[in-house]
Amino acid sequence: MTDKLDSAEAYNERGMERAENEDFAGAIADYTAAIALDPNYAEAYYNRAYDRSEIEDYAGAIEDYNKVIELAPDAAPAYFNRGLARAKIGDAEGANADCEYAKTLGL
């Protein structure tokens, strides 16, 4: 499964399949490849952030959620999940702010 794919979407899809099989390293590599092909692909950043949280790379997850929010400011799940990651690193104030803001967006 190291063959080159032809689009950011294809890498993102394969990344999601890998994540379903708990191959988080492979999934993160695929999302990174998707982002290299399309640096504005918010879904790939979101997926990579989620999987970074799965492997307890909360700083990396927060960085990716920041990018999702930059690209898609109304992405309530990104605020919520960034809040969860912030809580994991001890940033209770940031966590609360993110979760409250996610609620205002309808989450």
Q: What is the CATH number of the domain that holds 60?
A: 1.25.40.10
Query: How many angstroms from the chain centroid is the CA of residue 75?
Result: 11
Whether residue 24 lies inside any domain: the answer is yes
Containing structural domain, residue 100: 8-104
Whether residue 65 lies inside any domain: the answer is yes
CA nearest neighbour of 47 among 83, 20, 7: 20
Whether residue 3 lies inside any domain: the answer is no
Q: What is the pLDDT along the chain (107 residues), one digit of tens a residue?
A: 457 899 999 999 999 999 999 999 999 999 999 999 999 999 999 999 999 999 999 999 999 999 999 999 999 999 999 999 999 999 999 999 999 999 999 98
- Structurally, the chain folds into a number of domains equal to 1
Whether residue 71 lies inside any domain: the answer is yes
Whether residue 17 lies inside any domain: the answer is yes
Can you count the helices (H) and strands (E) in the chain? 6, 0
CA nearest neighbour of 70 among 49, 100, 92, 99: 49
